[in-house]
């Protein structure tokens, strides 16, 4: 697994929404900021009231529509749970559903969310379905998914600890993920060390420049408002350039 940042840093990253983390990330990365990092397909946060989640990816592949996958295969499930337990948290379970775009069955429900919570997992990103949303909420297990589902069919882990692609984004085990109701950002290892400071700076930069000017426009003429906004945008850009050299 990739080298982790401190737990205190993770807690602070959780204070901001995912777009704010993205605003910091785009200043420090050499990746394509319009293609890399975040989900390229729509995803729904079914527990938005929980706020953002931040953790390290543990990966799973399922195929609920294929009845050759026996849920009763206890040896396989034991090995899967041993893998989950062996990885340090906080962990976000990233699930690739091979049945996409059809949702034949859900890997997630009341039982599985509680089991994974006990193993140090805080939530999931799955391009399949979830069910028992009230019970998942009660377990404190956050879920970003493609949809809801009534049954589980033959939903069991058939492969794990491997690269997966969900919502147009490839995810490796151990990668740092920030996710909320807007979607999710997979932060490359080379950008992890600077991501917190970059997010802090950009959030402050927005507030002291553009937002402050926009909210102090009462009583000013249209020309004065536009002049102030234009100046604040230039100052915002200059401050970011001075900080990050871009």
For residues 117 and 210, membership in a common domain is answered with no
Report if residue 27 sits inside a domain: no
For residues 120 and 156, membership in a common domain is answered with yes
Report if residue 64 sits inside a domain: yes
For residues 183 and 149, membership in a common domain is answered with yes
Domain that residue 201 falls in: 194-244
> Are residues 89 and 121 in contact, defined by beta-carbon separation less than 8 angstroms?
yes
Supply 127's token pair.
């391009």
For residues 211 and 152, membership in a common domain is answered with no
Q: 86-90, 122-126, 143-147: which has the minimum mean pLDDT?
A: 86-90
For residues 203 and 86, membership in a common domain is answered with no
Strand, helix or coil at 73? Answer: coil
For residues 140 and 198, membership in a common domain is answered with no
Pick left, alpha or beta for residue 148 (phi over 0 → left; psi -120 to 50 → alpha; otherwise beta): beta
Query: Any residues with CB less than 8 A from the CB of 127 and at least 6 apart, and which?
Result: 41, 43, 95, 96, 97, 100, 145, 146, 166, 167
- pLDDT number for residue 65: 95
- pLDDT number for residue 155: 92
Supply 104's token pair.
């034949």
Q: Is the dihedral of CA 200, 205, 206, 208 positive or negative?
A: positive
pLDDT digits (tens, 9 = 90+) for 181-214: 999 999 999 999 999 999 999 999 899 888 888 8
Report if residue 219 sits inside a domain: yes
pLDDT above 60 (res 236): yes
**Angstrom distance (rounded) from CA 121 to CA 232:** 42
- pLDDT number for residue 2: 47
Q: Which CATH number is 73's domain given?
A: 3.50.30.40
Q: Which helix (H) or strand (E) holds 55?
A: strand 53-62
Report if residue 4 sits inside a domain: no
Report if residue 156 sits inside a domain: yes
For residues 126 and 89, membership in a common domain is answered with yes
For residues 130 and 219, membership in a common domain is answered with no
Strand, helix or coil at 181? Answer: coil
> Are residues 173 and 57 in contact, defined by beta-carbon separation less than 8 angstroms?
yes
The total domain count for the chain is 2
CA distance to 72, 89, 106, 127, per residue, from 99 (Å): 20, 28, 11, 9
Q: pTM for this one? A: 0.92
Percent of the chain with pLDDT strictly greater than 90: 82
- pLDDT number for residue 1: 42
Q: Which of 169, 187, 205 lies at the terminal end of a domain, its last residue?
A: 187
């Amino acid at each position: 697994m990739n080298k982790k940042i401190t737990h205190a840093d993770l807690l602070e990253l959780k204070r901001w929404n995912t777009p704010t983390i993205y605003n910091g990330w785009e200043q420090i990365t050499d990746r394509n900021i319009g293609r890399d990092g975040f989900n390229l397909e729509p995803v729904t946060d079914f527990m938005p009231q929980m706020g953002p989640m931040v953790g390290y990816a543990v990966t799973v592949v399922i195929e609920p529509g294929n009845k050759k996958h026996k849920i009763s295969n206890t040896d396989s499930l034991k090995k899967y749970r041993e893998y989950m337990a062996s990885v340090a948290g906080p962990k976000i379970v990233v699930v690739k559903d091979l049945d996409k775009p059809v949702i034949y069955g859900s890997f997630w429900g009341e039982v599985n969310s509680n089991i994974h919570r006990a193993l140090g997992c805080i939530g999931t990103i799955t391009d399949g379905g979830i069910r028992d949303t009230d019970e998942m909420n009660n377990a404190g297990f956050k879920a970003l998914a493609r949809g809801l589902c009534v049954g589980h069919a033959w939903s069991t882990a058939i492969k794990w600890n491997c690269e997966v692609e969900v919502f147009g984004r490839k995810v490796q085990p151990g990668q740092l993920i920030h996710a909320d109701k807007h979607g999710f950002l997979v932060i490359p290892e080379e950008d992890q060390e600077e991501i917190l400071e970059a997010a802090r700076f950009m959030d402050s930069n927005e507030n002291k420049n553009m937002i402050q000017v926009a909210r102090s426009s009462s009583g000013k003429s249209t020309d004065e408002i536009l002049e102030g906004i234009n100046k604040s945008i230039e100052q915002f850009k200059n401050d970011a350039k001075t900080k990050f050299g871009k």
